[in-house]
Amino acid sequence: MSAACPHADAHVGQRVCRHLMSGEAESYSQRFNGEAFDYDLVCAACAERGPASIADLVTVCAECFEAAADRASWTRGPGAVLDRPQVTERSTRLAFSHQMVRLSVALGASLLDLQPRPGRVGSRWLAVTSAGRLIELDLSARGWAVVADLSGALDLERDIELQVSPDGTMAAVVEAEGRSGVVVDVSSGEITMLFERGTDLVEGSRFPLAFAMSGDELVLVHGTDWNRIDAFDPRTGTQLVRRPAGDAARSLDYVCSGLSASPDGEWLVDNGFTAEGAGIPAVFRLPSWLSGNPFEAEDGESLRYLCQRWDFWDGPVCWIDGGTLAVWGYGPDRQNLIPAVILFDAATGDAMRWFPGPRGQLVFDELLFSLGDGDGVSVWDVATGERLLHDAGFHPLRYHPGTRQFLTTNPDGELFVLSRLVGDPGEPDRG
């Protein structure tokens, strides 16, 4: 196959329409061509002509393909992504096994949120109830106990979000789209912090909140304004990072939203958006912020903006390892997002690879789980992008990495179902 570019000796195999190649067109669509995840770049006129435009496609090397994309911009709205890539599957012996659990004493209140409690023996979970209590569920023993009374600290009529520290010793509860939060020492039930995000809330943003272990130090990062996060010792409320007063020049025109720390505490991702409505996940090194540059979260050397999607932010993300982040959704804007996962290198900000298919929240534990968004659960091999299992009738709420259990329940907590993945994923076909 010869190239329609000066680099005939380079690897050839990507197609672009002549109008983009010559610089006549200013925007492009991506049209998937049925060859795995490959797509062609086509201008608006070629996109409208559909299959008839194939005569205007030329084959170029990867360098010229990227240059054509850089000269133009990815169009927004209808037609930005044409056709769909194929989801690849691998036959396995995987399945989910399920165990039903009823509590010996009913909760007497509905569940507002629940999360696994790490670092403890058995299937232990923390939950917030509509009665304003933080409770611990021990599903191995079919019991529960009150940890703390949160009534008066939060508006329980709002959506409530619970986060638990990696060592299971502390819990933070916030109004997900509000301004108030509280931190509890789980062992003693003592409230160690009452905090607020600020008065200027931005519609559509989620309260930024994340625990992280930085070395031996437990850190709580939370929003203190619409465009600012700060770090605290959750046991004392002591602020750990202090910016010099009066340095307003570094204030960001960026709305902070959902936070997530990497498993090793090295990186923090802020899943926020610009004031113009472009969702742009941002990552930076947490140790550099805590012990070095107080402005690392705003403009530090480690700060990387990963991808931009108009009118879409705070979508599913999860850490694959200490430096690889999986970000849900492929496309330029909310209207054109393909169900997919993109894997980013946090250190460089580069997309390493992607694959189509996952829907809903993401969980990684050797394999990637996509928790359906109404489509059940799918299991994925992140190395190959293959789907290994799809269970359309399974709709869990949470995953406990310590016991490798998925949890399903109704809002009243009358019945809990604990589920595990069993079987052999098999070996990928290397062809």
Pairwise CA distance, residues 314 & 258, whole Å = 6
Residue 70, domain extent? 12-82
Q: Which pair of structure tokens corresponds to residue 386? A: 């293959």
DSSP string, 195-223: EE--S---TTPPPPEEEEEETTEEEEEEE
Position 238 in a domain: no
Q: Which residue has the higher pLDDT, 414 or 308?
A: 308
Instruction: Report pLDDT digits (tens) over 71-111.
Output: 999 998 888 999 889 899 999 999 999 999 999 999 999 99
Provide CB contacts within 8 A for 8, sequence distance 6+: 2
Position 35 in a domain: yes
The pLDDT-based confidence of 3 (bands split at 50, 70, 90) is low
Position 71 in a domain: yes
SS3 422: strand
Number of domains in the chain: 1
* Backbone torsions φ then ψ of 370, nearest 5 degrees: -110, 120
Residues β-bridged to residue 199: none
pLDDT of residue 33: 84
In a 10 Å sphere around its CB, with 0-12 CB exposed, 13-18 middle and 19+ buried, how is residue 228 labelled? Answer: middle
Position 27 in a domain: yes
Instruction: Report pLDDT digits (tens) over 186-221.
Output: 999 999 999 999 878 888 899 999 999 998 999 999
**pTM for the model:** 0.91
pLDDT of residue 1: 40
DSSP string, 305-331: E---EET--S--EEESSSSEEEEEEES
Position 291 in a domain: no
The pLDDT-based confidence of 348 (bands split at 50, 70, 90) is very high
Q: CB of 129 within 8 A of CB of 103?
A: no
Position 383 in a domain: no
For 130-140, what is the mean pLDDT? 96
Instruction: Report pLDDT digits (tens) over 250-289.
Output: 567 899 999 999 999 999 999 999 989 999 999 999 999 9
Task: Work out the percent of the chain whose per-residue pLDDT is above 70.
Answer: 95
pLDDT of residue 133: 96
pLDDT of residue 243: 84
Name the strand (E) or helix (H) holding 291. Answer: helix 286-291
pLDDT of residue 34: 82
Position 317 in a domain: no
Q: Which of 349, 359, 366 is nearest to 281 (CA)?
A: 349
Instruction: Report pLDDT digits (tens) over 146-201.
Output: 999 998 889 999 999 999 999 999 999 999 999 999 999 999 999 999 999 987 88
Name the strand (E) or helix (H) holding 290. Answer: helix 286-291
Provide CB contacts within 8 A for 157, sequence distance 6+: none
pLDDT of residue 8: 59
Please tell me the least confidently modeled range out of 43-52, 89-98, 104-113, 225-234: 43-52
Instruction: Report pLDDT digits (tens) over 354-368.
Output: 999 999 999 999 999
Between the alpha carbon of residue 372 and those of residues 58, 171, 379, 395, the distances in Å are 39, 27, 10, 7
Position 282 in a domain: no
CB-side neighbour CA atoms (13 Å) of 82? 21
Provide CB contacts within 8 A for 115, sequence distance 6+: 125, 126, 127, 162, 163, 164, 171, 398
Per the listing, tokens 């946090």 go with: 346
Look over the chain and give the mean of its residue pLDDT values, rounded to a whole number.
91
CA-based angle 152:219:316, to the nearest 5?
80
| Statement: residue 302 has pLDDT above 90 | yes
Task: Work out the percent of the chain whose per-residue pLDDT is above 90.
Answer: 76
Please tell me the least confidently modeled range out of 120-124, 303-307, 348-352, 383-387: 120-124
